[in-house]
Each structure stands twice: as C-alpha cells, then as structure tokens.
Structure 1
Amino acid sequence: MRALFVQIPNILTGIRIALIPLIIHLLRSGQHSQALVVFVIAALTDTLDGLIARLGRITSPFGTFLDPLADKLLLNATYTVLALNGGLPMWLAAVVWLRDLIIVLGAAALHLKGRRWQVKPAMVGKATTLFQIITVGLFFEVPITRLFINWQPFMVTITVVLTLWSGLYYMAAGLNILRGTAANGL
C-alpha cells in the first residue's frame, strides 16, 4: 500500500500533463468554459501532488524533475493558445516562454558541464507559478472571468514582475552552481 501512496504525487503530475492536449483542443475549438474547468483541475493536481508529497515526506528524483516540467508545459501551452486566439497579449506569453526557456537551457548547460544540483523551487518560483495560473485563468473567455476583467492589468503586472524576478533568481543560482559557489543548487 505504501508503494502506491508513494506514486500518487507522480500520478497526479502525469494527469496534469495528460490534460494539456485536452485544454489545447477545448481552447482551439472555442469551448472556453470546459477548458477552464479542465485547467482548474490540472492546476489543482499541482497543489494536491505537492501537499501529498510534503505531508507524506515523499520525494523522488523523477518527481522533483517532472513536477516543475509539468507546470511549465501546462502554463506555456495555455498562455500560447490564448495568445494565438487573440485573448491574451502575445508579449505576456513571450515573457513566460522566455523565462522558462532560459531556465531549461540553464539546467541543460549545468548538466552538460557535469554540475550536480538539486531542484528546490524557491518561494519566488512558487509565487510566480501561482500568479501565472491565476492570471492566465482571467483570460479564458467565460462569464465568470468577465467579473474580474478590471483585475487583469494588476494581475498581469504582478505576474510579469514575478516572472522576471524568478527568472533572474534562477539565472543567478545557476551561475553560482556553474562557478562552484553554491552548495545545494536551484
């Protein structure tokens, strides 16, 4: 039974990844209400897998790698489709994409240089993910999001600031690892 419990966070992360094509399909076909429901379910799997992992003290190298990758895939796909549909500013999607691209390229560079590090999401990274989720949710074209239309500029501003801040934070952490001045990693 414990073996199954240990796998629950990774299963939830896998579900999050599996829901991405459905979200894309629903958004591309104009079914924003259904897409928002599936997006919220996907976002909740992120919260739930983290909670279970923390409470059960369950960590695995695979899960530590897969969870942030699932977040990046979910958010980048959703931001991109909403931007291509014209509902979300393309520059906002580009900011999210570029930050994640820099992080992924930095991790690849560290790997190629033979540097070992442990992925530990910083508080600014967690805040960034939370605000990116909330902000992109405001751009789904459904009646409930229209109630919060006046919040869009504020949320976009906070999201951009956090996205840039966390990107710079992770770049600095990666450079420290590369130079050998960081002990425990990202």
Structure 2
Amino acid sequence: MRLPHVASESSESRESASLGMRLCATSAEKPTIARSNSFVGTHEYLAPEIIKGEGHGNAVDWWTFGIFLFEFLYGKTPFRGSGNNETLSNVVSHGLRFPTSPKVSFHARDLIRGFSVKEPENRLGSVKGASEIKRHPFFGGLNWALIRCAVPPAMPRLCKTSIYVPTAALQKNDSSKGGELQGTEDHMEFDMF
C-alpha cells in the first residue's frame, strides 16, 4: 500500500488500490494468526519482518498504515534511503525520527510510533487488532459507530477520468516525433509520456 494508491471507492468505504487491502472502520476487531512469507511491496512501506524474511501476519498492515500516516503528515516516508538497499537497511536498523517541521500533535506522533515498533508482537494493533487502535488517544472523542455518517470538511474535485489515449492510437504515433503525442480538444500535450 502506498499513499497515492488510496482511492475513494464510494462515500461508504475507503479502499486501498494496492493489493486489495481494506482500511475500513468495520475491519476485524482481532488480528488473524495466519502467516505469510511473501516479499511484495514498495520498499519504503515494507515492515522489518518482511525484509528479514521471518514470516509475517497482519501486523505488517499496521506498520504500513503508520508509514502512510507519517507520509501524510510530513510529506515523506521515514526510512527512505538513496536507493532500495539503503531504504531496506534503514527500515530494519534505524529508529523512527520525526522532523521538527511541520508541528504534529503528540497523539499523532504517538500513534505513528505505536505502528512503527520493529517487533511485530509489540506493534499497536497486533494483539487486539482495530479495537486497540480505536482506543488510542488520537481518536479520543470519535464516535466509531457514526463514522460513516460523517461529512468530510472538504471533498476533492475530481478530474475527468474518461480522457485517455487508446493503445491503437499510441501504436500509430509517428516515432520520428520522439514519442510526442499531440493533444486534441481536452487532451493536453505530453512530451515523452
């Protein structure tokens, strides 16, 4: 799961477009005990136990959610290195450090810190699942039963999603133009796209 992959499916649910994982308010209260040994995902969001090949359960989802929150609040991921190997090394060996700017509340940092515990058995949500997370002070005053009824303070304006270049048009494109597509009507020109 990566921040750009979170999409609004409808007003009733949020779905992660990456790997079909769901981040819904009605998620299971207790974590499952199933384990996997897969190594799939974007390096910056992988939990330490995945990188070390130790097998993993759903605690990796809470790790990724913590990285997601960090990126949402600070505009970058906490363990990114100059390359994939350095990033993986940072995830396994470096501690979580918060930038001094922007200012983020103590409860938000504490929530992220709880999700970013290296040992999965001690990670927030790994023992009691979503019920443990819902009780965190960051969510104090939130009525979970009414969360789907809440009206967001602002709704993003959607762009036209019906504008695309069919594959056939791409194949007919004159390669002597350097891969340049000429825009028509509402289409914008893309150079080397």
Provide the TM-score with structure 2 as the length reference.
0.31
Name the structure where strand makes up a greater proportion of residues: 2
Provide the TM-score with structure 1 as the length reference.
0.31
